[in-house]
Structure 1
């Protein structure tokens, strides 16, 4: 079960690669009228070591603003997230599964979050899975995005988002709640030990900087929930980001930092920018 790992790497898709991409998480964007280059960086949203690669630090120094998937520096971020955490139309997790499975999930949540499922009954199951993510780590959790924000503020530069919090939260309305709940039940049945092992594999693949290996890892998953909803989870989002990336890069040299899974593939940000006429090359 890798629903959670798809979220950690940026809501993966399993679209094939017609162009082989170099192994890199940092890419330089130039050409097509840009006066100065911008940079693209693939992140992993939680990690044991959020130290920034020297190439990322160089990209930060060479640019004048930071774009994340959402503006994590927004003071109203938490309130906006809470507004989108509930399922629509009064739906409840307890109505989606058997009594035994709901109890299993409730015990699992009580152990790992300190609260039973009855208190979270109206929450979107996929978001509950994200709340459990830190428990998968055998270390204090760190955030690459937070390190990027810290460095950006030290340079007295601004932070922006490629999409709104509301749009990102709405992703969990586009995937049927029943499918999300099934994944949460599976997680409760498997336990965190298996999740921790999977996380170690994912971390190793991320560190390899092989964008195709990231997609292949997810493509081996038994559950195809994310593949079945790739249009909403990845393709449409990437396509909606391109005009914003173009506008920002033309105005100001920018570092764009998004989940690593958004970079590769036919509908990934790298090839979409190349199709628009930009030179996008790996920073070695």
Structure 2
């Protein structure tokens, strides 16, 4: 069975950008130093859900910040329990299946698309639409070792404490709390654009590596310009505002301990509701390191 990717991170990259306000020339770079009086500095690193070597290979400044940190902070602790919870939540309970909720033509398109991922129709019937579109949006995995997971495993190997800013249940709820109509709408749009995702993801990787978050936002604006405005508004609230405010609130006690290396999706960083701005509003000095 194909396993779902860490869809929250990817949906943030593919959809969340649509509602970022222009972030300006200051929002350049992936590594940021967080300072406050009386505590050791912490670092904020913007990641991308990718297993490409250019992404998973840390620049020297990032490597030094990570190795020198006392603890790793991720959006979510990426342990086996979280992975199993995500996979289980993406399945219909008995008595209902995918064919019950999709129009016949869309169902057949979905079966054909997921066959390319090695998912046979009897298995696919149990998948909820959000589990399917989060899988289809990801490039086919070769190693499964995307950047956040690599950081997590390196921290565990070094006996470095790992903390999560959200629980698996909270990240699952972002998807599972969507109406079935919204899930179906996104699935249809995903299938309509399926042949373009590899090229989009490649361009996104290139811009991410440049560290130009503003350019990344502009790229996504063009990529997702045809999304339904009402759906976009709902996503803005669920995927951007609510999550960023929650993560910053939970991050601050860890920052007061000092020495944290915080790794979250790169586009949680910029914008008026971005982590950088929210930390500054809370009184922290946040400046670019790399």
TM-score by length of 2: 0.85
* Runs of at least 5 residues in structure 1 that lack an aligned partner in the other structure: none
Q: Corresponding residue for 1:129?
A: 133
SS at match of 2:16: coil
Moved more, 14-23 or 53-62: 14-23
Structure 2 residue 96 is matched with structure 1 residue 101: no
2:66 to 60, 66, 77: 60
More off after superposition, 12-21 vs 209-218: 12-21
2:220 maps to 218
Q: How does 1:124-203 map to 2 (within 5 A)?
A: 124-136=128-140, 142-191=145-194, 193-203=195-205
Distance 1:19 1:134 in 2: 28
Which of 118, 123, 127 is 1:119 aligned to? 123
Deviation at 1:280, TM superposition (A): 0.2
Equivalent in the alignment of 1:264: 270
Corresponding residue to 2:243 among 226, 237, 241:
237
Structure 2 stretches lacking a partner, 5+ long = 1-6
Moved more, 224-233 or 50-59: 224-233
| Structure 1 contact 274–280 (Cα < 8 Å) conserved | yes
Aligned to 2:206: 204
The question of whether the paired residues in 1 share the 8 Å contact of 2:31 and 2:46 is answered with: yes
- RMSD of aligned alpha carbons: 2.7
TM-score by length of 1: 0.86
TM-fit CA distance, 1:273: 0.3
Aligned residues: 277
Distance 2:265 2:14 in 1: 4
Distance in 2 (CA, whole Å) between partners of 1:266 and 1:103 is 42
Q: Compared with structure 1, are the counterparts of its residues 89 and 265 closer, same or farther at alpha carbon in structure 2 (3 Å cutoff)?
A: farther
Distance 2:189 2:247 in 1: 33
Tell me how far apart the structure 1 counterparts of residues 12 and 51 of structure 2 sit (CA, whole Å): 9
Structure 2 Cα separation of the partners of residues 156 and 108 of structure 1: 41
Matched residue of 2:44: which SS?
A: strand
Q: Which moved more, 1:19-28 or 1:57-66?
A: 19-28
Query: Cα distance, 1:134 vs. partner?
Result: 4.8
In structure 2, the CA distance between the partners of 1:78 and 1:61, relative to structure 1 (3 Å rule), is closer
Alignment check: 8 A CA contact 1:27 1:39 kept: yes
The offset of 1:98, in angstroms, is 2.4
Please point out which of 115, 118, 124 is paired with 1:110.
115
The answer as to whether partners of 1:112 and 1:135 remain within 8 angstroms in 2 is: no
SS for the counterpart of 1:77 is helix
SS at match of 1:256: strand
